[in-house]
Every structure is written in structure tokens, then in C-alpha cells.
Amino acid sequence: MNPTVTQIEVEAPLVARKARPGQFIILRVDEAGERIPLTVAGTCPEEGTVKVIFQVVGATTEALNHLREGDALQDFAGPLGTATEMNGPERVCVIGGGVGCAIAMPVAQELHRIGAAVTSIIGFRNRELLILEDEFAACSDRLIVTTDDGSYGRHGNVTEPLKEMLTAGEKFDRIIAIGPLVMMKFVVAAAKPFGVRVTVSMNPIMIDGTGMCGGCRITLVQDGQRVTRFACVDGPDFNGYEVDFDEAMSRGRMYADYERHAYEEACSLFRKA
């Protein structure tokens, strides 16, 4: 789809029948591989297929990116997590950042299908990384594209058009923000003065994804109390005002060194091959 983002379609009839927007799957590429969670980008129940969009960020996604049409994955399990809340006709602002747009897109499509008025803001670092513009255009009453460097659409990040609309008196029943943690944190900060509900989609490190290991825990602050929740079964969607983003960002970097080495090794392995 762009130099670092790839879409695959996987034959998985049981998952295709059940998956709803906002849910994820866990896959392994090969026998020794790690389990990684990826969000469902779309399904075709009739054909029994599930679409998954991923960005190459490490060894496992690098290996995934080297599969060819017709290859098989070692494992593919889901759908996991709870689906994004759908309330029928309401005014929703869907905000996607980078590869997070792959998760935001089926949410916007479903909102549109059930009669919600959808405003979409999708942001990318630059024009080269732009994905899913046509898909968003088709399911949005209004679409704003931003790039950090101004090479396409509006110059700047996704929070600026949001702030402008809210300041101008635009009313949303809720905002759904899906993207890098820092983007979601700033969307929450931008929406706060206006009291609009913000749902964010968390994507922490996971292993089993079924409520067993506890690695995906995040901290919510509810009425001044810090409470632990598990993204795999309680999420991945959470009330953005309650999430401790700084902690989530720190926890996401737990294996940063290890991941960089593994990625470099994987890349050199594939270069040789």
C-alpha cells in the first residue's frame, strides 16, 4: 500500500464470520515465530477471508512481508478483544494516524453503514505514506487528510483540524482516535475543553491475547483511583480520558533494544536470501 505498509488477505472462515470492527487477531508466521496481535481491517464472510494491514516494524512483520500469495501462516486466531461500540445515527469524528488508519477505516465504514454522520481526519508523516484515502472518502461525510510535512493535504497534524472544528462550534457525540499513543494523547487533550467523549484503541505488547498472560495491562484513572485493565479482553477500546498514556508509551518500549537487534538480523537474513 506504501513502502512500509502491506495488506494481506487470509483464508480464515470462522474468524471472517465473527470479526467486527475494532477486533484483532493473533498470528504466527512460522513454527518458531512470535505471536503478534494485528487488527482486522475487513472481512468477507462469503469468501471466508480476513484482511489484515500491517506496517513492517520488526522481525516478525518483516517475515510476514516476505510471504507470497498462496503461502500459509503458521497460526491465525481470533477475533479477539471487544468490538468498537456502535450506536446508530450519531455524529462521530474518526481520527486515524499512520497505519492506525487501517483500524480506523473499518470502524468508519461500519459507522457510515448504520447511519452515523462520519467526519474523518487521517494523518500521515508525508505523501508517500498515505493509505486508504479512497476508502475513507467513500464512507465519510467529510474527509480531511493531513501530512506532517505538508506534502499532501493539510500541513500539520490531525489535532489541528479537530481543534478548529470544535472551536467553531461543531458538535460531535464522540471522537474515535486510533493511531500512535502520542497522537491519541493529544487528541484527548484537544477534545477535553469541549467535553466530547473520546474512545482510543490501545495496542500494547501481548502474547496470548485471550486473557491469560497479563502483559497487555494498562492503567486507567477512574475517579482518582488507578485501576489495571487488560487490553486483550477489556479493550482494545478505552475511554481516552482515563488512559495513562505516558505509562503505556514507556511499557511499549520494554523490548526496544531487543526488537531493534532482531529486526536488523531479520533484514540481513532476508537480504542474503
The reply on whether position 269 binds another protein by CB under 8 A is no
Spell out, one character per residue from 33 to 62, where the chain touches another protein: x when CB under 8 A holds, - when not: xxx-----------------------xx--
- Supply the minimum distance, in Å, between the C-beta of residue 136 and another protein: 28
The reply on whether position 15 binds another protein by CB under 8 A is yes
The reply on whether position 66 binds another protein by CB under 8 A is no
The reply on whether position 133 binds another protein by CB under 8 A is no
Query: What residues numbered 228-247 form the site for another protein, per CB under 8 A?
Result: 228, 230, 233, 244, 247
- Supply the minimum distance, in Å, between the C-beta of residue 159 and another protein: 21
3-state secondary structure the chain: CECCEEEEEEECHHHHHHCCCCCEEEEECCCCCCCEEEEEEEEECCCCEEEEEEECCCHHHHHHHCCCCCCCCCEEEEEECCCCCCCCCCEEEEEEEHHHHHHHHHHHHHHHHCCCEEEEEEEECCHHHCCCHHHHHHHCCEEEEEECCCCCCEECCCHHHHHHHHHCCCCCCEEEEECCHHHHHHHHHHHHHHCCEEEEECCCCCCCCCCCCCCCEEEEEECCEEEEEEHHHHCCEEECCCECHHHHHHHHCCCHHHHHHHHHHHHHHHHHC
- Supply the minimum distance, in Å, between the C-beta of residue 26 and another protein: 8
- Supply the minimum distance, in Å, between the C-beta of residue 213 and another protein: 4
- Supply the minimum distance, in Å, between the C-beta of residue 216 and another protein: 9
The reply on whether position 113 binds another protein by CB under 8 A is no
- Supply the minimum distance, in Å, between the C-beta of residue 81 and another protein: 9
Task: Write out the residues near another protein by the rule CB under 8 A.
Answer: 14-15, 18, 28, 32-35, 59-60, 74-80, 207-208, 210-215, 217, 219, 228, 230, 233, 244, 247, 250-251, 253-259, 262
